[in-house]
C-alpha cells in the first residue's frame, strides 16, 4: 500500500521529463520578488528625503506592499487550480514587474505607494505559487533537494539586499532599486513560459467570495496592527479596534469555511498532524530568525555606527553559509529525513542565538562573523526540511492550498515577531538606561573626575548611557528570541512518532 501511494504522488514522467531548468526559472522569479523588498527596507530614509515626505507616510511604501501581499496570498490555491499554476505564476510575476516599472517612474510619494501596492499584489503570491509548482513538477523522492535550492532565494536575497541597495543609492539613483528587478523578472518570465508545462486546470472550481473577504480583512487588519502597534500604542483606540476586527473576522472565517467543498482557506489541513506540526515549528523558527534579521542591523548601524553597505558585507558570510547548506540539507532530507537535520540545525541556531545576548558596544567583528556563520549553517540545516516534512504529508491535490496557508501563517508570525521583539527591546533599553542613570548623579565625585580628565560633557555621558542601555536591550531581546528556537528542539521528535503511527495504520 505504501508503494502504491508513493507512486500516485509522483508527477508523470512523460509529461515533465526534466524539472531542473523549470526549477531554475522559478527560483529566479522567487529571488527577484524577495530581493526587491530587502532593497527597499534600507532605502526609506533616502526616499523620505527625495520626496520631502514624512516618516509616517513613506513607511507606507513597506506597509502597502505587506498588506497587499497578505491579502492576496489566500487565493493561491484557488487561482492555481482554476487558471493553471504556470499561467498564474506568469500573471503574478507580470503584475510584480509592472509594479516595479511604475515604482521606477514614480514622481511623488503617493504614486510610489500606489505602485508598491500593485507590486505587492503580484509579489505576494510568487513564493507560495512557486512552492506549489515545485510539488507539481518534482518527484517526491527528490523534493528535498529541489526545495533546498528554492530556499536559497528566501535566505540569500535578504542578506545581499542592504549591500546592493547601499551601492545603488550611493552610485546611481533610488530608481535603480526598482529598475534592477525588471530585466531579471522579464528573463524569468521568458524562461518559465518556454520551459514549464501547464498543470491540470479545474474549471469547475468556484470562488469563495465570503471566505476571501473574511480572510483578507482578518489578515490585513492583523498585519497593520502588528506593524504599527509600537509606534501608535498597543492600547490606542486604533490598534484595539484593528485587533478586534482581526480576531472577530478570523473566528467568523472558521465558522463560514467549515464544511465548504472549495474553501479559500482549507482549514481541514490542520487535521493533518504532520502538516500542523510543521507549520507550528516553522512559525516558531521564524520568530527566532527575525531576532537576527531585525536586531543585527540595528546593533551594527545604530551602536557600532556601520553603514548599510558595510552591514550587508558583514552579514554576507552568514548568507553564504545558508546558501551552501540548503541544497545539502535538502539532499540529506531525501535520505535521512527531518529529525536528524532538525535537531542539529535547531541546536546550532538556538544556542548561537542565545550567545548573541552577550553583545557589547565593542564586540569584535571576527567573533560576530564566526557566530553568524555557524548560525547560518544551523538555519540552512533545519528551515527547509521542517517545511518540506509538512508539505510532503499533504495530498497532492491540496498542495496549493497548503502552500498558501503555511506562507500566510509564517508572514503573520514574522510580523508578530518584529512587533514583540521591538517592544521588548524598547522596554529593556529603558530599564537598563534607568538602572545605569541611578548610579550617575550630580553629587557623585567620580563623575566629575571622569568628565574633567577626559573632557566629556554631561550630554556626551548621556549619549554613552543610551548606547550602553540600547546594547543591553538588544542583548536581552536576543535571549528572548532564542526561547522559541529551544522550544522547537523537542517538537522535532514528534515527526518520528507520527511517522511510526502512520506506518502502523497502513499495516
Residues 156, 323 contacting (CB under 8 angstroms)? yes
Is residue 461 scored above 80 in pLDDT? no
- Dihedral of alpha carbons 428, 430, 431, 433, sign: positive
Choose the weakest-confidence range: 42-46, 285-289, 448-452.
448-452
Mean pLDDT confidence for 388-412: 83
In DSSP notation, 278-344 reads HHHHHHHHHHHHHHHHHHHHHIIIIIS---HHHHHHHHHHHHHHHHHHHHHHHHHHHHH-HHHHHHH
In DSSP notation, 447-470 reads HHHHHHHHT--HHHHHHHHHHHHH
Is residue 204 scored above 60 in pLDDT? yes
Is residue 193 scored above 70 in pLDDT? yes
Mean pLDDT confidence for 199-210: 81
Is residue 497 scored above 60 in pLDDT? no
Is residue 122 scored above 50 in pLDDT? yes
Residues 139, 20 contacting (CB under 8 angstroms)? no
Residues 401, 266 contacting (CB under 8 angstroms)? yes
Residues 140, 275 contacting (CB under 8 angstroms)? no
Closest CA to 191 of 39, 31, 403: 31
The band of 10, judged by pLDDT with boundaries at 50, 70 and 90, is very low
Closest CA to 344 of 290, 370, 382: 382
Residue 262 confidence (pLDDT)? 79
- 5: number of Cβ within 10 Å: 9
Calculate ∠ Cα 452-458-459, nearest 5°. Answer: 135
Higher pLDDT, 180 or 444: 180
Residue 9 confidence (pLDDT)? 46
Calculate ∠ Cα 259-260-263, nearest 5°. Answer: 130
The band of 344, judged by pLDDT with boundaries at 50, 70 and 90, is very high
Closest CA to 264 of 223, 207, 218: 207
- CA 361/CA 472 separation, integer angstroms: 9
**Alpha-helix runs per DSSP H in 105-138:** 109-123, 126-137
Residue 97 confidence (pLDDT)? 93
DSSP state of 172: S
Is residue 312 scored above 80 in pLDDT? no
Inter-axis angle of helices 76-83 and 399-438, nearest 10: 150
Residue 3 confidence (pLDDT)? 43
Residue 233 confidence (pLDDT)? 81
The band of 374, judged by pLDDT with boundaries at 50, 70 and 90, is very high
Is residue 102 scored above 90 in pLDDT? yes
Task: Decide: residue 354, CB within 10 A, 0-12 exposed, 13-18 middle, 19+ buried.
Answer: middle
Residues 181, 358 contacting (CB under 8 angstroms)? no
Write out the three cell numbers for 150. 528554492
Choose the weakest-confidence range: 55-59, 86-90, 188-192, 489-493.
55-59
DSSP state of 443: T
What backbone phi and psi angles, to 5 degrees, belong to 480? -65, -40
Is residue 42 scored above 90 in pLDDT? no
- CA 19/CA 13 separation, integer angstroms: 10
Residues 19, 147 contacting (CB under 8 angstroms)? no
Residues 70, 217 contacting (CB under 8 angstroms)? no
Mean pLDDT confidence for 299-326: 82
Is residue 486 scored above 90 in pLDDT? yes
Calculate ∠ Cα 296-301-302, nearest 5°. Answer: 100
Calculate ∠ Cα 416-422-426, nearest 5°. Answer: 150
Mean pLDDT confidence for 2-23: 53
Residue 13 confidence (pLDDT)? 42
Please compute, for residue 105, the number of CA atoms within 13 A of its CA located in the half-sphere on the CB side: 6
Is residue 15 scored above 70 in pLDDT? no
- 2: number of Cβ within 10 Å: 10
- CA 77/CA 38 separation, integer angstroms: 26
Summarize pLDDT for 225-250 with one digit per residue, the tens. Answer: 887 887 788 888 888 999 999 999 98
- CA 352/CA 373 separation, integer angstroms: 10
Residue 244 confidence (pLDDT)? 92
- CA 350/CA 481 separation, integer angstroms: 9
Is residue 500 scored above 60 in pLDDT? no
The band of 74, judged by pLDDT with boundaries at 50, 70 and 90, is confident
Please compute, for residue 292, the number of CA atoms within 13 A of its CA located in the half-sphere on the CB side: 31
- CA 42/CA 17 separation, integer angstroms: 42
Write out the three cell numbers for 463. 549619549
Percentage of residues in the chain having pLDDT higher than 90: 11
Average pLDDT for the chain: 81
Calculate ∠ Cα 93-98-102, nearest 5°. Answer: 145
Is residue 91 scored above 90 in pLDDT? yes
Is residue 348 scored above 70 in pLDDT? yes
Residue 499 confidence (pLDDT)? 47
Closest CA to 431 of 479, 463, 478, 476: 476
Closest CA to 447 of 430, 470, 437: 437
Amino acid at each position: 500500500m505504501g508503494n502504491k501511494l508513493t507512486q500516485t504522488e509522483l508527477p508523470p514522467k512523460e509529461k515533465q521529463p526534466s524539472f531542473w531548468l523549470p526549477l531554475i526559472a522559478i527560483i529566479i522569479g522567487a529571488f527577484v520578488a524577495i530581493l526587491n523588498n530587502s532593497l527597499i527596507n534600507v532605502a526609506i530614509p533616502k526616499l523620505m528625503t527625495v520626496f520631502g515626505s514624512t516618516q509616517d507616510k513613506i513607511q507606507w511604501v513597506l506597509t502597502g506592499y505587506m498588506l497587499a501581499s497578505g491579502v492576496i496570498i489566500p487565493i493561491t490555491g484557488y487561482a492555481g487550480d482554476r487558471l493553471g499554476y504556470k499561467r498564474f505564476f506568469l500573471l503574478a510575476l507580470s503584475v510584480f514587474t509592472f509594479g516595479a516599472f511604475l515604482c521606477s517612474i514614480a514622481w511623488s510619494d503617493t504614486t510610489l505607494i500606489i505602485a508598491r501596492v500593485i507590486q505587492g499584489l503580484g509579489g505576494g503570491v510568487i513564493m507560495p505559487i512557486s512552492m506549489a509548482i515545485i510539488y507539481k513538477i518534482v518527484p517526491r523522492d527528490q523534493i528535498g533537494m529541489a526545495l533546498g535550492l528554492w530556499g536559497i532565494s528566501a535566505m540569500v536575497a535578504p542578506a545581499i539586499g542592504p549591500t546592493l541597495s547601499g551601492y545603488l543609492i550611493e552610485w546611481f539613483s533610488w530608481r535603480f532599486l526598482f529598475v534592477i528587478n525588471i530585466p531579471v523578472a522579464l528573463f524569468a518570465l521568458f524562461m518559465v513560459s518556454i520551459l514549464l508545462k501547464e498543470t491540470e486546470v479545474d474549471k469547475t472550481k468556484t470562488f469563495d467570495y465570503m471566505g476571501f473577504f473574511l480572510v483578507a480583512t482578518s489578515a490585513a487588519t492583523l498585519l497593520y496592527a502588528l506593524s504599527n502597534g509600537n509606534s501608535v500604542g498597543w492600547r490606542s483606540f486604533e490598534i484595539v479596534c484593528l485587533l478586534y476586527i482581526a480576531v472577530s473576522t478570523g473566528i467568523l472565517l472558521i465558522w463560514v469555511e467549515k464544511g465548504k467543498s472549495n474553501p479559500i482557506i482549507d482549514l481541514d489541513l490542520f487535521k493533518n498532524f504532520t502538516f500542523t506540526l510543521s507549520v507550528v515549528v516553522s512559525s516558531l523558527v521564524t520568530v527566532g530568525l527575525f531576532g537576527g534579521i531585525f536586531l543585527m542591523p540595528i546593533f551594527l548601524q545604530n551602536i557600532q555606527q556601520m553603514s548599510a553597505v558595510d552591514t550587508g558585507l558583514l552579514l554576507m558570510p552568514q548568507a553564504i553559509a545558508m546558501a551552501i547548506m540548503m541544497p545539502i540539507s535538502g539532499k540529506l532530507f531525501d535520505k535521512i529525513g527531518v529529525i536528524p537535520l532538525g535537531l542539529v540545525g535547531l541546536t546550532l541556531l538556538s544556542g548561537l542565538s542565545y550567545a548573541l545576548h552577550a553583545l557589547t558596544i565593542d564586540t569584535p567583528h571576527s567573533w560576530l562573523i564566526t557566530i553568524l556563520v555557524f548560525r547560518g549553517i544551523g538555519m540552512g540545516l533545519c528551515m527547509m526540511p521542517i517545511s518540506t516534512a509538512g508539505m510532503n504529508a499533504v495530498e497532492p491535490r491540496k498542495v496549493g492550498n497548503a502552500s498558501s496557508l503555511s506562507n500566510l501563517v509564517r508572514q503573520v508570525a514574522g510580523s508578530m515577531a518584529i512587533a514583540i521583539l521591538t517592544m521588548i527591546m524598547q522596554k529593556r533599553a529603558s530599564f537598563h538606561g534607568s538602572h545605569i542613570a541611578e548610579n550617575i548623579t550630580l553629587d557623585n565625585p567620580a563623575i566629575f573626575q571622569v568628565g574633567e580628565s577626559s573632557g566629556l560633557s554631561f550630554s556626551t555621558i548621556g549619549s554613552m548611557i543610551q548606547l550602553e542601555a540600547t546594547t543591553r536591550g538588544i542583548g536581552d531581546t536576543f535571549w528572548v528570541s532564542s526561547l522559541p528556537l529551544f522550544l522547537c528542539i523537542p517538537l522535532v521528535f514528534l515527526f518520528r512518532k507520527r511517522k511510526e503511527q502512520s506506518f502502523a495504520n497502513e499495516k
